[in-house]
């Protein structure tokens, strides 16, 4: 049997899932696999790494939640395509492995969004409010798959309205991760009404040019989204 191009040293270090996840990241960053290409099968990884399939599945789940891998049921696991904004150079993915580091990023996103929305309430123009309303109108009638991209567009528009280049850059650097997190929350929700209503309340506060009201609305939105996200992350095994 021909030797495969992917080779790893056997895993020895604990906790095994975290170490395995880091090893898969090393494999991805090495250039052995290109965006959009399929990863080795579970059986191939099991043989190469000398670990159980359950550990491999847990590691893949972690990278799936982080938006680095895409699991296609019945087909296989793929490296996310480059045009989805993987941001391999701007985010140190290793820092996101494990519950503590994931929570750090979630917490940081919360504070960034609060700062953005307060500035947006003060600095947003009528033209920008009209553009935000247009996004909101589409959110109201969108499918779940379209909702994710519109949700991202809503938050990016807020960052533009804030007119703070540093905050906008930070938010954009997290865009791929936000897309994955929003999809994780929306996919398991019975509908998108709860999220639309949160976004509507944010818009009303911005239209009133009321920073305090905007902050309250965003905190509620972040609280709802964070709670649902953490529930799903724990189900995926990242809370272990």
What CATH number is given to the structural domain containing 171?
A: 1.20.120.530
Final residue of a structural domain among 57, 84, 111: 84
Angstrom CA distances, 88 to 38, 93, 119, 167, 190, stand at 18, 8, 29, 20, 33
- Contacts of 156 by beta carbon, 8 Å cutoff, 6+ apart: 168, 171, 172, 175
Domain total of the chain: 2
CB 88 within 8 A of CB 143: no
User: Does some domain include residue 91?
Assistant: no
In whole angstroms, what is the distance from residue 75 CA to residue 39 CA? 11
Residue 102: pLDDT over 80: no
pLDDT tens for each residue of 209-221: 999 999 999 999 9
Q: Is residue 6 part of a domain?
A: no
Residue 93 lies in a domain: no
Q: Are residues 26 and 70 in the same domain?
A: yes
What dihedral do alpha carbons 178, 170, 216, 102 form, nearest 10°? 50
Based on the domain organization, do 108 and 226 belong to the same domain? yes
Q: Is residue 67 one of the residues assigned to a domain? A: yes
> What is the domain range of residue 50?
16-84
SS3 7: coil
Work out whether the CA dihedral 211, 220, 173, 170 comes out positive or negative.
positive
Among the listed ranges 57-61, 128-132, 133-137, which one has the minimum average pLDDT value? 57-61
Cα–Cα distance between 93 and 7 in angstroms, integer? 21
1-5: average pLDDT: 48
Same domain membership, residue 122 and residue 60: no
- Per-residue pLDDT for 86 more than 50? no
Average pLDDT, the chain: 81
**Banded pLDDT at 1 (limits 50, 70, 90):** very low
**Tens digit of pLDDT for each residue in 19-62?**
788 788 778 766 778 878 899 998 899 888 888 888 898 888 87
Helix residue ranges per DSSP H, 92-164: 99-123, 126-141, 144-162
Residue 215 inside a domain? The answer is: yes
Locus of tokens 């492995």 = 97
> What H or E segment, with its residue span, contains residue 97?
none
Cis-peptide, bond into residue 15, ω within 30° of zero: yes
Are 217 and 116 contained in the same domain? yes
- Average pLDDT rounded to a whole number, residues 68-89: 69
Same domain, 223 and 125: yes
Distance between CA 11 and CA 17 in Å, rounded? Answer: 10
Domain end: 51, 84, 117, which one? 84
Answer yes or no: do 48 and 114 share one domain.
Answer: no
For residues 110 and 61, membership in a common domain is answered with no
Q: Do residue 110 and residue 210 come from a single domain?
A: yes
What is the pLDDT at residue 11? Answer: 45
In order, the DSSP letters of 30-54 are: TTSS-TTPBPPPHHHHHHHHT--HH
Considering the domain architecture, whether residues 72 and 106 belong to the same structural domain is answered as no
d(C-alpha 49, C-alpha 210), whole Å: 56
% of the chain at pLDDT higher than 90: 36
> Which of the listed ranges 13-27, 89-103, 121-135, 182-196 does the model predict with the highest average pLDDT?
121-135
pLDDT of residue 190: 86
From residue 81, alpha-carbon distances to 33, 38, 45, 89, 176 in Å are: 11, 11, 21, 15, 11
* Residue that finishes a domain, picked among 28, 55, 84: 84
Residues 102 and 79 in one domain: no
Q: Are residues 77 and 108 in the same domain?
A: no
Among 68, 95, 35, 61, CA closest to 177 = 68
As a whole number, mean pLDDT of residues 178-206 equals 90
Indicate whether 50 and 169 sit together in one domain.
Answer: no
Is the pLDDT reported for residue 129 higher than 90? Answer: yes
Q: Alpha-carbon distance 183 to 145, whole Å? A: 8
Summarize the confidence of residues 163-192 as an average pLDDT.
Answer: 84
């Amino acid at each position: 049997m021909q030797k495969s191009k992917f080779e790893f040293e056997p895993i020895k270090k604990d906790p095994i899932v975290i170490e395995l996840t880091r090893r898969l990241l090393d494999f991805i960053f090495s250039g052995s696999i290109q965006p959009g290409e399929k990863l080795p099968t579970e059986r191939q990884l099991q043989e190469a790494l000398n670990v159980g399939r359950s550990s491999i599945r847990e590691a893949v789940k972690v990278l799936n939640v982080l938006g680095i891998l895409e699991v296609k049921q019945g087909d296989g696991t793929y490296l996310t395509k480059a045009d989805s904004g993987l941001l391999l150079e701007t985010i140190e993915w290793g820092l996101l492995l494990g519950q503590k580091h994931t929570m750090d990023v979630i917490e940081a996103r919360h504070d960034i969004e609060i700062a953005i929305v307060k500035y947006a309430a003060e600095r947003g123009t009528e033209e920008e409010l009209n553009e935000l309303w247009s996004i909101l109108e589409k959110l109201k009638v969108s499918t779940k798959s379209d909702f994710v991209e519109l949700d991202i567009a809503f938050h990016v528009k807020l960052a533009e309205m804030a007119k703070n280049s540093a905050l906008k850059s930070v938010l954009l650097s997290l865009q791929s991760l936000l897309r994955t997190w929003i999809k994780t929350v929306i996919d398991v929700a019975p509908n998108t009404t709860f999220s639309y209503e949160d976004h509507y309340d944010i818009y009303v506060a911005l239209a009133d040019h009321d920073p305090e009201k905007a902050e309250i609305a965003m905190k509620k939105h972040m609280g709802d989204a964070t709670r649902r996200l953490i529930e799903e992350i724990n189900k995926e095994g990242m809370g272990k």
